[in-house]
Structure 1
Amino acid sequence: MSSDQKVETTLDVHDSKEEPTSTSLRDKFSYVLSKDFIIIVLLGQFLSFCITVTIVTSTELAVNHKAEYPTTQTFLTYIILAVVYTPFTIYKKGFNGWINIIKKRWWKYAIFSLIDVEGNYFVVKAYKYTSLLSTMLLDTWAIPCVVLLSFIFLKVRFHWSQYLAVLICLAGIAALIIGDFKTDVEMNTGSNLILGDIFCLISATCYAISNVAEEFLVRQRPFWEVVGQLGIYGTIISGIQLAILERGELIGSTWDGKIIGIIVAYSIAMFCLYTGAPILFKLASATFFNLSLLTSDFYSIIFAIFLFQSKLHHLHIVAFVGTMLGLTIYNIYPATQPKVESIKDEDEED
């Protein structure tokens, strides 16, 4: 339905005196009561849980095992993405079609991959230097960045209620942090807080750019093409960066079964994240994706309860409920669709 048709439909509803108010309210809330909304919420929470696994595993490596090789961690993820989705792309497009993708769009995927690699690099580096409080607060910087970038580059126009929903979700983070202070969670540790905070901001900005760029790309092309190309160029870029920055650490590291197991768990969670995220971008938006990820801090606390005997405060529950409420309000009045046209290659049917 076009925007003009939506306006006409809305006017017809309000102009009709015979239409009961209950029907109008039901129309407004029809999407948040639909199966489609349940699907995107569940997918968003699954991806949030995946993010939680990457946070827990990265913290475990950096703090308890003194194993600091952020590029190496994601290098394996990009390899898996390339190994899984490149053959699938060749199967769907043929070898010549795959070569044609590289010839036509390699520079788009290379830039997108570079930003994504650096986002992953700086967020893992930040875990070593800054506090948990700073990480939780500064990660939310990605949300206003995504909203602004979507407004400018994707031409998305948000309803006022959606800005309210963003504020409610961010208020949930505030409640979560207060709950941590109430339970005496140690949040002020960090060897270099200023450097770590800078890394957090760089990472959040890179993620925001990467998310909006990926939403743009998956609205143009199939997600398996986008993720497969990300795997290829991400492997190349992170491989070069690994050789330059982390060669010494890798040579001097003592590898054992536990460290390898943690890296494997991290890679599996990242693979699931990279597979599900572009699907959510297309079904919802990059903004909805980032709002969904706010609940990862709540899931991290659940992990801490079982792993480190932390305590659950009632404000933690308030924070989770607040975030879910914000996600619901965000979808009562859907934002306009991004102005991105899908593109087809010569060998594809219309």
Structure 2
Amino acid sequence: MAEKDPEGIIATDPSNNDDRKCLIIRKLLKFNPKEVFTWQLVKTVAMGQGLAALICGTAVTSQYLASDYLVDAPMLQSFMSYTLLCLTYTTALLFRTGDENMFPILKKRWWKYLLLGLVDVEANYTVVKAYQYTTLTSIQLLDCFVIPVLMILSCWFLKTCYRPVHYVSVCVCLLGVGAMVGADLLAGRDLGSTSDILLGDGLVLLSASLYAVSNVCQEYTVKHLSRVEFLGMVGLFGTLISGIQLGVLEHNSVANIQWDWRIGLLFAGYALCMYTLYSCMPIVVKKTSATAVNLSLLTADLLSLFCGLFLFQYTFSGLYMVSLVIILVGFVAFNTVATTPDPADPIAPSVDWEEGGYDNPDDIIEEVVVAVLEEEEGEHTGVSWNQRTQNKEVPAEGRSTKM
């Protein structure tokens, strides 16, 4: 039965299909673009494309090293990046006091960060190794496997609640990737090897799964612990693991490099781009989510292609621009609706009382319960929870800043 909301407007009954359609129409009529396309959304898009530009920088420097100087030492490149993280963030942990010092952290969670470092190093290594066995087209397509795996892991471990608009947005982004791959095929850029396609495709899928695990761990750590702890521990164990792997697998390749200032500059450029990417990515993840960040990184291949038009004389196709627009539309649509914790599990919200948001975990549970009740009421009144909480006084860092 229809009821009246506090404003005197007859509300619809969600159990009735006709009333549900009327509710959707009312929401569409009340749609205000200024409430969706906010300055925060603009900053989110800009930060995501900044990360994509950094990945583009790593791709361009790697391409120069491989094509112009015949350097094949991906583990050396990773080792340099992890070393920079270790020198800065691990050192910062050494000078912290109390439980935030490096030694108490290692005492409590050393084995977890050891596994995380191993996952991160091997994720980088396996995708580079895949280029020896399969084609660029296969890598671009299969690398998108990270997004569904990441969404599944986020639902299981982070209790993220995705809405239909998020799934539609992801499909739109993947459609843009398909357009990019089609443009590559038309331009004759199906590069790479075909020596063992099955092995190469398996390595790409393995890399995507490892990246998903690493990104979920990163999102949990930066939202519940600290960004410096995550980067310091990844830098420490990443340096150790990549250093051992470098000595075992690439000692001959490194010894055969004909060093000069150009090669040194390219190595330095790669290491700085990757170091900046690792340093900035947790900031964007904390403001949005790991899934949103990976969607924004889909444009990295396109940015690399645009650079290749001038640096490596790639053939241009109008589908590249279409692909870029489609991916950006999907990314924007994904960030217009919040991904909230699962209301069925109020014990695991995406807020952190240890960082000063709340003094007591019970306050968080109470806040989530109130939010769930107001959300159910909002389904009848046409007023969303986000609109209701805009005028509430909530501690500055007590609520997730995800869009």
The farther-off stretch of 133-142 and 54-63 is 54-63
Cα distance, 1:263–1:12 mapped onto 2, change above 3 Å: farther
Q: Distance in 2 between matches of 1:14 and 1:239?
A: 66
The farther-off stretch of 309-318 and 123-132 is 123-132
> Does structure 1 conserve the Cα–Cα contact (< 8 Å) formed by 2:93 and 2:100?
no
> What TM-score comes out, normalization by structure 2 length?
0.76
Q: 1:24 aligns with which of 23, 30, 44?
A: 30
Q: CA offsets, 1:57-80, max 9 Å, x none?
A: 223333443322221110011110
Equivalence for 2:254: 250
Question: Which amino acid in the other structure matches residue 185 of structure 1?
Answer: G
> Does structure 2 conserve the Cα–Cα contact (< 8 Å) formed by 1:40 and 1:284?
yes
Cα distance, 1:257–1:196 mapped onto 2, change above 3 Å: farther
Report deviation, 1:93.
Answer: 3.2
Describe how 1:144-159 pairs up with structure 2 within 5 A.
Answer: 144-159=148-163
Equivalence for 2:381: none
The farther-off stretch of 92-101 and 329-338 is 92-101
Tell whether 2:225 aligns with 1:221.
yes
Structure 2 unpaired stretches of 5+: 12-25, 343-347, 361-403
The farther-off stretch of 60-69 and 299-308 is 60-69
Tell whether 2:154 aligns with 1:174.
no
Q: Distance in 1 between matches of 2:263 and 2:200?
A: 23
Question: Which amino acid in the other structure matches residue 186 of structure 1?
Answer: R
Q: CA offsets, 1:225-280, max 9 Å, x none?
A: 11011101111111111111112222233223222222111111111110111111
Q: What RMSD, in angstroms, separates the aligned Cα atoms of the two structures?
A: 2.7
Equivalence for 1:143: 147
Q: 1:197 aligns with which of 198, 201, 213?
A: 201
Q: Distance in 2 between matches of 1:277 and 1:185?
A: 33
Report deviation, 1:48.
Answer: 0.8
Report deviation, 1:22.
Answer: 7.5
Equivalence for 2:16: none
Equivalence for 2:188: 185
Q: Distance in 2 between matches of 1:241 and 1:329?
A: 41
Q: Distance in 1 between matches of 2:252 and 2:244?
A: 14
Report deviation, 1:191.
Answer: 5.2
Question: Which amino acid in the other structure matches residue 25 of structure 1?
Answer: F
Structure whose residues are more often helix by fraction: 1
Cα distance, 1:271–1:31 mapped onto 2, change above 3 Å: farther
> What TM-score comes out, normalization by structure 1 length?
0.87
Q: Distance in 1 between matches of 2:132 and 2:223?
A: 36
- Select the structure of larger CA radius of gyration: 2
- Tell me the SS of whatever aligns to 1:231: helix
Tell whether 2:242 aligns with 1:238.
yes
Question: Which amino acid in the other structure matches residue 318 of structure 2?
Answer: H
Q: How many residues align?
A: 334
Question: Which amino acid in the other structure matches residue 190 of structure 2?
Answer: M
Report deviation, 1:284.
Answer: 0.5
Cα distance, 1:320–1:235 mapped onto 2, change above 3 Å: same
Question: Which amino acid in the other structure matches residue 294 of structure 1?
Answer: L
Q: Distance in 2 between matches of 1:106 and 1:305?
A: 45
Which structure would you say has the larger RCO, counting Cα contacts within 8 Å and 6 or more residues apart? 1
- Tell me the SS of whatever aligns to 1:334: coil
Q: 1:130 aligns with which of 127, 130, 134?
A: 134
Q: Distance in 2 between matches of 1:144 and 1:343?
A: 30
